[in-house]
Amino acid sequence: MKLKIALTLLLTAGLLTANAQRPAADKEKVKGGELTIQPITHATMVLSYQGKNIYVDPTGGADAFKGLGTADLILLTDIHGDHFDTKTIEAINTAKTTLVVPQAVAEKLPATIEKAKVVILNNDQKTTQGDIVITAVPMYNLPGASNANNHTKGRGNGYILTIGGKNVYISGDTAGTPEMKALKNIDIAFVCMNLPYTMDVNEAAQAVLAFKPKVVYPYHYRGQDVNTFKSLVNTGDKNIDVRLRDWYPAAK
C-alpha cells in the first residue's frame, strides 16, 4: 500500500513539473465548443478540439506531452529535426494516430509506423480528418536569398486547419512568401521568425500585415525579438491580436 502511494506521488510530481514548464494553454471559442492551444516548445504544439488532439511537429520525447491527451492526429511540416523527430514519434502512443505529412517526410518515417496511418499531402492538397479540414500550404525560403537552399519550394508544408468554423494557419519554416501574403480569412496564425533559417521579425510582420489574421502567435522565434514584431504589426494594424507566449521555458 505504501509503495503504491509512493509511486502515485512520484507520478503526480512528474506531471506537475511537466505542466509547470509549459505556458498556460489558450482557449478559443469555435463552433461545437472550444479549441485549446497548448504551446510546447519552438515549433511544437498541441491543438485540442472536441476530445481530439492534434500534435504539431512533436519533439521533446514523451515527457513533453505528459498530462496531455494521446495524439489523434500528428502534423509534420518538414524533414528538419526541430520539426521531424523520429525518437519522439516512436516514444509517444501512436496506436490510433493518423499522420499528415509531405512526401519528403513520408520517405523518412520509422518502419514502425503503418503506411495505412499516413496521409501524404503535397502543397495545395486537402484532406478531411473527422470534422477537421487540413490544407497543405507552400513553405519555403525565397529563391535568390542567402538561405534559399534551407527550405526549397514543394518539400515541406505549412497547414491551414479548418476547425469549428475557424481557419488556423501554421506556417512551418518559411519566408514571407507570396502564398502567405495572399492568404484569406485566417482566424489564428502561427508565424515563424528566426534567422538564418526562416525570416526576421520585420519580414514576418510585413507578411502578417498583408494577410491580416485576427490573431497571430509568433512561434519558432529562437533568438528574435518578438516584442519588436508585436510593435511592428500593431503599428500597421492595431486590430490584429498579437499573442506573445513563452515557447522556450526550459531555457530559463
pLDDT tens for residues 130-186?
999 999 999 999 987 777 778 899 999 999 999 999 999 999 999 999 999 999 999
Tell me the CATH number of domain 25-242, given options 3.60.15.10, 3.40.50.300, 1.10.3720.10, 3.30.70.1350.
Answer: 3.60.15.10
Report which of 158, 160, 105 is spatially closest to residue 132, judged by C-alpha positions: 160
Residue extents of the structural domains in the chain: 25-242
The Cβ-side half-sphere exposure at 125, using a 13 Å CA radius, reads 13
| pTM for this model (two decimals) | 0.91
> What pLDDT band is residue 251 in, cutting at 50, 70 and 90?
low
The grid coordinates listed for 7 are 509511486
3 state SS for 142-193 = CCCCCCCCCCCCCCEEEEEEEECCEEEEECCCCCCCHHHHCCCCCCEEEEEC
Percent of the chain with pLDDT over 70: 91
Report which of 78, 99, 105, 48 is spatially closest to residue 220, judged by C-alpha positions: 78
pLDDT tens for residues 178-230?
999 999 999 999 999 998 899 999 999 999 999 999 999 999 999 999 999 99
Taking CA atoms, 154 is separated from 28, 73, 172, in Å, by 31, 22, 13
Identify the residue with better confidence: 249 or 149: 249
- pLDDT value, residue 147: 78
Look at residue 111 and give its three-state secondary structure. coil
Residue 14 has pLDDT above 80, yes or no: no
DSSP state of 220: S
**Cβ atoms 167, 161 nearer than 8 A:** yes
